[in-house]
């Protein structure tokens, strides 16, 4: 249950943030120089934001990426397609979810401002469509 391939540092959270393969947003706080502790624990949101990708990486049915937008604001970009044996599957969907992150009073990681989720149908030529998002 580790964090995925792409991590972003958020200065407000003072942590590295990523999306794990189970669809949860996770963060690892930056260790203090004065601390004797060598490792920081991974904090995971209780709410799942993306599809469970753990069994789907090899067959290209689903993919997600996390993009850092600014000051604890993020976007998850997902592609999903129907589970069919046919190479000409017509159902291919792009889903964008924008949200914020913060710690609550107990130190748990919480999703905030999750009001912007949109889905779009895209081309059936799934092998030519691999979306990634970035923020400038």
The owner of tokens 């190479």 is 87
Residues in the chain, overall count: 136
Domain annotation covers residue 135: no
Q: Which residue has the higher pLDDT, 31 or 5?
A: 31
* Average pLDDT over the chain, rounded to an integer: 76
SS3 state at 114 = strand
pTM of the model: 0.75
Report the C-alpha gap between 51 and 133 in whole angstroms: 18
Model confidence pLDDT, tens digit, residues 102-131:
999 999 999 998 767 888 877 666 555 666
Domain coverage including residue 32: 8-128
Domain annotation covers residue 83: yes
Domain annotation covers residue 77: yes
Domain annotation covers residue 78: yes
Report the C-alpha gap between 66 and 134 in whole angstroms: 9
Domain annotation covers residue 3: no
Q: What percent of the chain has pLDDT over 90?
A: 25
Model confidence pLDDT, tens digit, residues 5-27:
688 999 999 999 998 888 889 99
Domain annotation covers residue 46: yes
| pLDDT given at position 10 | 94
| pLDDT given at position 132 | 63
Model confidence pLDDT, tens digit, residues 77-86:
888 766 555 5
What's the rounded mean pLDDT across residues 63-85? 80
Domain annotation covers residue 90: yes
Domain annotation covers residue 104: yes
Let me know: does 29 contact 39? Beta carbons within 8 Å.
Answer: no
Domain count, the chain: 1
Report the C-alpha gap between 2 and 24 in whole angstroms: 10
Report the C-alpha gap between 37 and 60 in whole angstroms: 39
């Amino acid at each position: 249950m580790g964090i995925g391939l792409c991590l972003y540092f958020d200065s407000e959270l003072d942590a590295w943030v990523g999306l794990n393969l189970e669809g949860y947003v996770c963060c690892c706080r930056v260790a203090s120089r004065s601390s004797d502790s060598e490792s920081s624990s991974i904090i995971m949101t209780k709410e799942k934001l993306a599809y469970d990708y753990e069994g789907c990486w090899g067959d290209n049915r689903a993919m997600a990426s996390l993009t850092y937008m600014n000051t604890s604001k993020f976007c998850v970009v997902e592609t999903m397609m129907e589970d069919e044996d046919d190479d000409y599957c017509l159902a291919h969907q792009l889903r964008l979810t924008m949200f914020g992150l913060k710690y609550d009073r107990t130190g748990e990681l919480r999703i905030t401002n999750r009001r912007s989720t949109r889905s779009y149908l895209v081309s059936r030529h799934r092998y030519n469509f691999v979306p990634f998002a970035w923020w400038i």
